[in-house]
Structure 1
Amino acid sequence: MDSIAHIRKKDKQVQTVEQHLLEAKELAEEYGEKLGIRHVTGLAGLLHDLGKYTTQFRDYIFKAVHHPDYAPRRGSVDHSTAGGRLLYEYFHKPDQPFYMMLAEIVGNAIFSHHSYLKDFITPDLESDFLKRAEKPLDEFEQTKQRFFDQVMDVQTFQVYVGRAVDELETFLRSKSVFSFEKKMSFLTKFVFSALIDADRTNTCLFEEQQTTVHFINSQSLWSVYYDRLMLEIQSFANDTKINKLRNYLSEQCEDFAAKSSGIYTLSIPTGGGKTLTSLRYALKHAKLHHKQRILYILPYTTIIEQNAATVRDILQDPANILEHHSNVIIDEKDDEQKDGVTDALTLSKDNWDSPIIFTTIVQFLNVFYAYGTRNIRRLHQLSNAVLIFDEVQKVPTHCISLFNEALNFLKTYARASIVLCTATQPALDFVEQKLDINSDGELVKQLPAIVEAFKRVNIVDNATEKSWSSEQLADFVFERMKHVDSVLVILNTKTVVKRLYELLKDQSLDIPIFHLSTAMCAAHRKDILEQMRDYLDQKKKVICISSQLVEAGVDISFSCVIRSLAGLDSIAQAAGRCNRHGERVIGDVYIIDHEEENLNHNSLKEIRIGKEVAKRILIDRKQRQVAHDDLLSPRSMNRYFQEFYEELKNDLNYSIDVQGSKKEMTELLFASRTTSSYYNSYRNEKKVAFPLVLPHSYGTAAKHFRVIDNQTTSVIVPYGDGSDIIAELSGGSTIDRLSQWLQRAQTYTVELFEYEKQQLMQNGGIISYDDKIFVLKDAAYNKSYGVDVQNDTVSGSLFG
């Protein structure tokens, strides 16, 4: 009887279990080599689908493909347990601790490869891992025998496992700032990532009738890219003070690139040319130190397509530059039912294998901590990479400890080089879970002098004397327009942004007024920014009303900026949109306190706290009559962040409610046996020692993890090429073509809160494909505002 791992949809050809296991092993070994654990990850690939050797599974998949009307219920045959069960039975022995740990790490990955990592111990003091490891299995003895007969004989298998144990011991005995438990936690996730990618990639190759993976030779690209970048940099004028400073900073970063991997800071003031300067560092460093890829990671509130477009234009290789804004495909909570019956959406490739990637902090953190298999599949790709975090101060406060630990892991074990870019460096070494920044890690020398040289704005405090209504603010905008060509207003909520925009439109017939919001897709915002730049370049009158998304990563310069009171970091970023290129001697940035902004919702807590801390500092400066000091100096910023984190110290470790009990995410993921409350409760209540080495609760933590407090769903919108993408997705496609279209869809998506999605579903404004991909109908997208949850849009002009 031939085994069956998969049956190809188009021609009903069979991939045998032994073919799939051995080919997945080879891929997983290649991924694991990055951490020196090729046999550990290879072992996961070798055993993950062992359960497909049963006659039950063969009968199930044959009927599911050839006789679907008579097939057993999908997911009714367990194929994910046998491989982990074999490891547990053979090697989980108390007298062999490293074999025990190997069985737990690799076994968990195998048990979980169609869902997510199991809890070693649950809040109910049970063990999801042990339930699988000790689960009775039909045909288990026959399954093991078939594996040893057809895949790898017993002696060779024992040798292979021995090599995996040696690698594990070497990894765990290495000296670092990491505790044993943190090492094990991140190692488990890395092995899981390598297995998921190896399994999905091999299945995709079979389905697409390909034999090998095309790995891009990044080393051959870095030199080409570097030469193209230098041609661009050398073409820049060196005739102004700002341009001379930018060139000076760029040269410093090139010199710094020779240093080995680590965590460094790049504290270039706004307008200092961070994008190209950091790219120069990244390309030179990748070339010298043989890095595989470069990732730009930006805030979830920013517009990443601008930086990506700039880099694409310079490097002239768009096919190898990926923009990944969001997961267009909804990651299934549990896809145990994918037993050998492949589908294009599950196999579509978004595993971050491009040489240069632009993505968001949300996507980065999801890779390490979110539930499901689609996010964590990308984790191993972060090894031996250069990671540029732009506007790192935007990392949500409740995620800071988890963020720090992820970066520490990438630096210590994954040979990643990490640069934290911002004009306002947060005090990430002030928190309990400190970031292991290299000593003397600032790329810029003589930083205070550089900051002073870049000063181009005057901060005007209009926030401590009174609060402002929308009507008063509208009058102030028009008053300022009598003296300047352009005004940018940045407010804290979409509601007041829209209200001010409508007030200004009603009063102005001759000044173009633009609106920017996260309710618009990236392509829409890009078009609006290009139109505004035309007005700005020609010194024509223009007004823009925006949420804070315009603050980070947007190269645009207004004569005057008005910023609703927020944290000093936000004020500094807003100031970076004023007189950005030194067009004037000095530009004015007005801080106002908008009375109509409702910041009481929990999702706006950080903005509220930042506003309160900033207001204290402003009042203190006024009382001490030190207003002449630079509000945005490194000293002021350091004070701000220390007070800000002190106000939010109870949130830094990501506290969650688990069955009515408050738990910190760091405990669920990194606790030792002595510090784990679940472990101690298990021992006290059951009067026996917990039988596993690891006490972590990965599944529970992941199910509670949200970078943004309010869960959002990506929806493809019918703006520009978005309409063509929607038509392509609805028509069905091959895996390869679908992957290409999904990459294109990144700039035509908008994130919807759950209440917005539900309202659109109720009024018929949204369509779902298998509850995986959501698309917006034409009537629910407005040319001025973006998504219209009322679905009663009358298409309007871009400005009144």
Structure 2
Amino acid sequence: MEYIAHIRESDKQVQSVAEHLLGVQALAESFGGKLGVSHIAGLAGMLHDMGKYTEEFKNYILMAVNHPDQPPKKGSVDHSTAGGKYLFYLLHNSEKNSSSKEEILYRVILAEVAGNAIISHHSYLQDYIGPDLESPYLRRVSDKDLREFEDTKTRFHESVMDREAFDAYIDQAVAELRAYLESNRSVNQEHALMMLTKFIFSALVDADRTNTRCFEENTTYESINAADLFHTYYDRLMEKINSFAGREDAQSPINLLRREMSDQCAQFAEKSSGIYTLSIPTGGGKTLASLRYALKHAQLFDKQRIIYVIPFTTIIEQNSDEVRKILADEARILEHHSNVIEEDSEDDEHEDGLMNVRQRLKLAKDNWDAPIIFTTMVQFLNVFYADGSRNIRRLHNLSKSVIIFDEVQKVPVSCISLFNQAVNFLSSSANSSIVLCTATQPALDFVRDKLNIEPEAEMIHNLEQVAIAFKRVDIVDRATKEKYDNVSLADFVMEKVQEVQSVLIVLNTKSVVRNLYTYLQEQAMTTPVYHLSTSMCATHRYHILENVKKHLENREPVICISTQLIEAGVDVSFKCVIRSLAGLDSIAQAAGRCNRHGEYGVQQVYVIDHEEENLKYLKEIARGKEIANKILLDLRRDQSTHGGSILSAQAMTRYFREFYTDFKDRLSYFIPKLNKEMTELLSANKKENSYYQAYCREHGSRPPLFLANSYRTAAEYFRVIEDHTTSVIVPYGEGKEIITALNGQQSIEDLTLLLRKAQRFTINIYPYEKDNLSQNDGLVAYLDGKILALKEGAYHEEYGLNLENDSPMDLYML
């Protein structure tokens, strides 16, 4: 008798449980092979839906498909527990395992690592021990009674893999676990197992969704041939780089130095994988040089993808557009700004096998299966630590990659330890090469969980001489002499416009930026004034920047006012920059938007203190401002201190050391409600795990577990940005068409493309903004509430988000 995994919506074709389990096993094996754990991942794949070998589930799915108006009760059938329970039964029984204590231990760990992934594949990894001093994992695999469990095991071995072959398969998985742990002897064992569990969970979730999607669309899975693509891409890149030799200014000192640094990156690509630094100064050709390294290194060391991780405060579409044009490939270069679909951590097991809006969204391809990816630091950290299965599905695709962290000094302070742990895992275990790319390398080695940077990590030679050669600006301190408000700042801006024509003002808060913009529009008369903030979608900001660039190229007067988003990854060159006092890294990045190519000799960057900025809730910016102010005061008293410049290597070292020391209690993601660091929840050993110790005291015995960490609790509390934001699609330009299309019925493939396109037309709103929009009728929900969009009046052609929902409609003709 055939047992059913899925029933295709279009033609009611059945996918049997055996077909699905074997298909997921094969995909999971291929994903797990990148870490050398193909059998561990395959074991999770072949067992994940073992619970569908029941009459109960077959009746459930037939009832749901044949009687959609009278669906069975949600949650009435549990099919994800059986596989994890079977592993627990087989591998936690020491009498049947082995006479070797070491062998018993490895089998127990295997049951817990693979078993947790199996029972969690419709939600998120379970706590082994939670804050309530109970074990959600044990409740499922040990305590829960499954009515057809014995029959399920029999049917599994008859249809999927016989018992003898299955035992041999487990032996291979145990051997992989042993090899993995032996290769991580220098690492905290619980940390190594936490990363392994997350990797297996990622491989399983992606394999399950990919197989289900292929069945639903009646297609086959095709992996990307990265080797051929990267060879072609490299030829196109070199054609572009070589074309620079024909330019009139090809022999200028800066362009010769850019070419030399690019050549050094190409030579460095021949080094084996590791964690390296690329400290090209701003304007030094960092994007093309790092891409040259990545493409060459990927070919030499068989990497499968190249991933650019850019600060959450920046504009990623400019870099991705530049790379698309050079590589002449529109389709296979992925931008991932944010999750358009709101992550749902609710268990959706009761919907498995059926096709509804929620399942269609779940299956939409969102797994970073692309050769080149541009994403943000928020999304990178979410892959490892955030709740729900959508984020972690991407984790296995970070392995065997070249990962370039642009402006790495922007890692949020609370996430430093978590970032370092993730990067060290990718380098040491997942065969990825890491490039920390910035003009101001932070002092991340001061923290407890240090990055394992290679001994000779820097790609560029003679950095001090390079910095001197790239000197294009003088930093003028006005911050320690007087304070500005928007009126006095506007006067200063107009004075500089008359003198140099193009002025960029970078301030710390959106409200002050907007107020200055409004005031300057009234004062500037004929000078064009532009405004940028994260209240605008990416395409909107892109259009504004294109207009600004035209003025700059034509050497016409122009004023641009922006938050810090313009400081990283934006190729613009103003004759004058005014920066509100902030951390030294921010001042350095703002300076990189001034006289970028050295075309105007040496120009001025003015640092001011703006008294109208409220930094009460921006503690990192506020503390950075305080430290920078102290360094400026030192320089004002004695110009020879700190290497004679606020942007010297000595000043930067002082700044980062003091900055991270001040925040040392926050570097490991402290959770006030639990009075614990997240690192304890994820990877503390049993002696240091307070939940484990309290469990033993309360129950009077130790739990029958090797692992005792609280994965789900940690994920539920994790936020890269403290106030959780929600992504909404905005009715700007093509965004309006995307919103309209959400009302239609799309295939999974069409929905995938639509959601990718929507990336550039989203903004992230805070809870209070969401509440205001709801009160003012400015939000509309689509696809069962999983996607939100702004109504037309809630988006303004100048300011972006409009909480009052009373914007004029002119912009919708764009």
Q: 2: CA distance between counterparts of 1:607 and 1:711?
A: 19
The answer to whether 1:636 aligns with 2:645 is no
Mapping of 1:182-581 within 5 angstroms?
Answer: 182-210=191-219, 212-236=220-244, 237=247, 238-334=250-346, 335-342=348-355, 343-581=359-597
Post-superposition offset of 1:636? 1.2
**Equivalent of 1:608, from 613, 622, 637?**
622
| 1:61 Cα deviation after fit | 0.9
State the distance in 2 between where 1:436 and 1:600 align: 35
Which shows bigger deviation, 321-330 or 171-180? 171-180
Question: Structure 1 residue 58: deviation in Å?
Answer: 1.0
* Cα distance in 1 for residues equivalent to 2:811 and 2:224: 44
C-alpha displacement of 1:789: 1.2
1:177-222 CA distance string (max 9 Å, x none):
3121111010000000000000000000000011x21111010011
**Contact persistence 1:176–1:412 (CA under 8 A):** no
Q: Retained in 2: the 8 A contact 1:74–1:339?
A: no
Q: Residue 492 of structure 2 aligns to which amino acid in structure 1?
A: F
- 1:796 CA displacement: 6.8
- Asked if structure 1 preserves the Cα contact closer than 8 Å seen for 2:408 and 2:442, the reply is yes
The answer to whether residue 110 in structure 2 is matched with residue 110 in structure 1 is no
Residues 293 and 464 (structure 1), Cα distance of their counterparts in 2 relative to 1, 3 Å cut: same
Corresponding residue SS for 1:295: strand
2:737 aligned with 1:737: no
After superposition, residues 65-76 of structure 1 pair within 5 angstroms as 65-76=65-76
In the superposition, the TM-score normalised over structure 2's length comes to 0.96
1:699-736 CA-to-partner distances (Å, cap 9, x unmatched) read 00000000111111111111111112112222120001
For 1:711 and 1:473, the matched residues in 2 are separated by 33
Measured against aligned partners, the alpha-carbon deviations of 1:580-601 in whole angstroms (never above 9, x if no partner) come to 0112111110011111111111
**Residue 122 (structure 1) aligned with residue 135 (structure 2):** no
2:98 corresponds to: none
In structure 2, C-alpha distance between the alignment counterparts of 1:92 and 1:608, rounded to whole Å: 53
How far apart are 1:623 and its partner, in Å? 2.4
Residue pair 1:566, 1:607 contacting (<8 A) in 2 also: yes
User: How far 1:626 sits from its partner (Å)?
Assistant: 2.8
Once the two structures are TM-superposed, the CA of residue 92 in structure 1 deviates from its matched residue by 1.2
SS at 1:359 equivalent: strand
8 Å Cα contact 1:370/1:703 also seen in 2: yes
Paired residue type of 1:582: G
Question: Counterpart of 1:86 in structure 2: which amino acid?
Answer: Y
- Name the CA distance, whole Å, in 2 between partners of 1:725 and 1:492: 32
Question: What is the rounded CA distance, in whole Å, between the counterparts of 2:294 and 2:476 in structure 1?
Answer: 37
Give, in whole Å, the separation in 1 of the partners of 2:414 and 2:791: 35
In structure 1, the residue matched to 2:722 is: 709
Aligned-partner Cα distance in 2 for 1:446–1:240: 19
AA aligned to 2:381 is: L
Q: Deviations over 1:263-291 (max 9, x none)?
A: 00001111111100100100111111111
Deviation of the 1:762 alpha carbon: 2.1
Deviation at residue 12 of structure 1 after TM alignment: 1.3
Shift, 1:771, TM fit? 2.0
Amino acid at match of 2:187: F
Give the drift of 1:176.
5.0
Runs (4 or more) in structure 1 with deviation over 4 Å come to 795-798
Query: Once the 2 structures are TM-superposed, how far is the Cα of residue 778 of structure 1 from its aligned partner?
Result: 1.5
Deviation string for 1:743-779 (max 9, x for gaps)?
1111111111111122212222111121211111222
Match of 1:784 in 2: 798
Cα distance in 2 for partners of 1:323, 1:447 equals: 32
1:598 aligns with 2:614: yes
2:24 aligned residue: 24
Give the secondary structure class of the aligned counterpart of 2:11.
coil
The gaps in structure 1 that reach 5 residues or longer are none
Contact 1:784 1:797 in 2 (8 A): no
Partner of 2:97: none
Equivalent pair of 2:796/2:811 in contact (CA under 8 Å): no
SS at 2:484's partner residue?
A: coil
Asked whether the 8 Å contact 1:75–1:339 carries over to 2, the reply is no
Pair 1:136-2:181 in alignment: no
Q: How far did residue 684 of structure 1 move?
A: 2.4
Partner Cα separation in structure 2 for residue 240 and residue 630 of structure 1: 26
C-alpha distance in 2 between matches for 1:70 and 1:489: 61
SS at match of 2:560: strand
Pair 1:100-2:115 in alignment: no
C-alpha separation between the residues in 1 aligned to 2:351 and 2:446? 45
- The match for 1:685 is 698
Shift of 1:474: 0.7
Deviates more, 1:676-685 or 1:533-542: 676-685
| Whole-angstrom distance in 2 between the partners of 1:338 and 1:389 | 38
Structure-2 residue corresponding to 1:747: 760
1:508 Cα offset (Å): 2.1
Give how far 1:175 is off: 4.5
Distance 1:381 1:514 in 2: 39
Kindly indicate whether the alpha-carbon contact (under 8 Å) linking 1:784 and 1:796 is maintained by their aligned counterparts in 2: no
In the alignment, does 2:16 pair up with 1:3? no
Moved more, 536-545 or 778-787: 778-787
Q: What is aligned with 1:619? A: 633
Q: Which residue of 1 aligns with 2:664?
A: 649
Alignment correspondent of 1:40: 40
> Which SS does the other structure have where 2:572 is aligned?
coil
CA distance in structure 1 between the partners assigned to 2:160 and 2:296 by the alignment: 44
Q: Secondary structure at the match of 2:350?
A: coil
SS at match of 2:349: coil
Deviation at 1:797, TM superposition (A): 8.3
Inter-partner Cα distance in structure 2 for 1:541 and 1:337 = 61
* CA distance in 2 between partners of 1:556 and 1:176 (Å): 48
Distance 2:179 2:11 in 1: 46
- Distance in 2, matches of 1:317 and 1:675, equals 51
Residue identity opposite 1:459 in structure 2: I
Structure 1 residue 633 displacement after superposition: 1.5
Tell me which residue corresponds to 1:699: 712
Cα drift, residue 657 of structure 1? 2.7
Equivalent pair of 2:276/2:434 in contact (CA under 8 Å): yes
Deviation at 1:337, TM superposition (A): 2.9
| Counterpart residue identity of residue 371, structure 2 | P
Amino acid aligned to 1:146: R
SS of the residue 1:543 aligns to: strand
SS of alignment partner, residue 730 of structure 1: coil
Deviation at 1:795, TM superposition (A): 4.9
**What residue in structure 1 maps to residue 170 of structure 2?**
161
Decide which moves more: 254-263 or 786-795.
Answer: 786-795
Deviates more, 1:678-687 or 1:563-572: 678-687
Output the CA distance in 2 between the equivalents of 1:250 and 1:653. Answer: 36
One-letter amino acid of the counterpart of residue 671, structure 1: A
Q: Classify the secondary structure of the residue corresponding to 1:582.
A: coil
| Gaps in structure 2 of 5+ consecutive residues | 95-100
For the 8 Å contact 2:635–2:645, the answer to whether it is kept is: no
The whole-number CA distance in structure 2 between the counterparts of 1:768 and 1:784 is 24
* Residue type at the aligned position of 1:656: I
Does structure 1 retain, via aligned residues, the 8 Å contact 2:535–2:763? yes
- Secondary structure of 2:480's partner? coil
Deviation at 1:685, TM superposition (A): 2.7
Mark the CA change 1:797 to 1:164 in structure 2 (over 3 Å): closer, same or farther.
Answer: closer
Q: Determine the C-alpha separation between the residues in 2 that align with 1:201 and 1:574.
A: 43
Contact 2:732 2:811 in 1 (8 A): no
TM-score, normalisation: structure 1: 0.98
Alignment of 1:60 with 2:76, yes or no, is no
